[in-house]
Structure 1
Amino acid sequence: MSEAFRGEFTQRVDGKARVSIPAAFRRVLEAGDPDSPRKRIVMVYGDSRRKYTECYTMAGAAALEEKIKRLALGSDRRRMLERNMITLSVTLEIDDDGRIVLPPKVREKCGISPEDVAKGAEAVFAGALDTFQLWKSDVYDAEILRAAEADLASLPEGVDILSLLSDDEGV
C-alpha cells in the first residue's frame, strides 16, 4: 500500500516565511521523489475560488501533467487546466531541516499577509490522500467546519458516511 497524506498539522510560519513540513508528509514527499537528492514539492496556487494551495509530490504532479497532456491540444479544458494547474504553480526544494520558504504568491493565495509573517502566522497542512492542502490556520478552521457540516447535511437521515464507499448505495 502506498503512502498517503492524512491528518491535519498546524505549523508556525517564521519571520522569513519558512514553514516546516510535518514529518509524516515529508515521508510521502520522499517516496514521490526518490531520485532527487533534495526532496521537492509542487504547490499549485491557481483557481481563485479555493482558499488554499494544493500540494503534490513530484510523482503526483507528473501524473497530473500526463492527464492534462491527454486532452486535445488547444481545447478550452486543456488551456484552463494548463493555466490554473501548471502556470500558476511552483516547484520548491525542501531544505535539510524539512522546511520550505513560502513564495509571495503562495502566501497571497492562502491569505497570509506580510504582517502575518512578521507576527508568526500559523499554517495548516491538511492531508487529502494523494495531495495535501496548505491553509492559513483561521481560514482553515472556519472552512473545514462549514464544509464538514455541509457534507453531513447532504446525506439522507440515518445514512452512515461510510456508505459513500459502496458502489451500490447510489448516494
Structure 2
Amino acid sequence: MKAIKHFVIAVFGLLSLISCNSDDEFYNAAYVSVPDLITIDTPASYSVGDNVSFHTDFSRYLPEDGFTDPLDIYKTSKAESFGFAYRLEKETAPDVWTSVFDNGDEFSVAEAVYQTATQTYKCDIATPLNSAGNYRLGFGESYTGYQSTDLISRNPENETSVRITTNANNTNGQGYYYFTVN
C-alpha cells in the first residue's frame, strides 16, 4: 500500500512539472533582450556643476525571440515601473574608483515609470558633478555579463515578473562610460 502511495505522489509530481509549457511558465517570469534602451547624454566636455544624465523611454510592447507578436510587458506583469541599478564613481587614485553618491552606497536604483498617455516606461536621471576629475558611469551587471544590465519589473505579487536585458550607449566592454570633468 505504501508503494502505491509513493507511486501516485511521484506521478502527480511529474505531471505538475510537465504541465508547464516553458521555463517562463514554471518560474512565472518572462525574459526579453532589447539592445540600447538606456541613452547616456554625451556632451563634448563636462565642467564642475554640470550633470551627467541618462534616460530610458521604451514601449510596453517589446519584441520577444521566437514570437511574431510583441510581448505586452504591462499586461504581462501589471508593473507600474521597472527598476535598474546604476553607479557613478570618481577616480581617487590610479585605478581606484570611489562612489560619489551622498549616502556612500555603491549603487543607486533608477525607476522607469509607466506613462499611460504614451504607453511607455520612462526614466530621466541627472546627477551633479561637484568636482573635477575622471569619472565613470556604470549599470548593474546582468546575468549575461558586464556589458548589459537588467530592468526588472516592479509587479504586484502573484503577477509574472519581466526582466529586460539591455545596454547603454557609449559604454566599453566592461559596461562603463568614462568621462572627465574640468
Computing the radius of gyration from Cα coordinates, the structure with the larger value is 2
Higher relative helix content: 1
Bin for the TM-score computed over the shorter chain: under 0.3
TM-score, length-scaled by structure 2: 0.26
Higher relative strand content: 2
| Higher RCO, Cα 8 Å, sep 6+ | 1
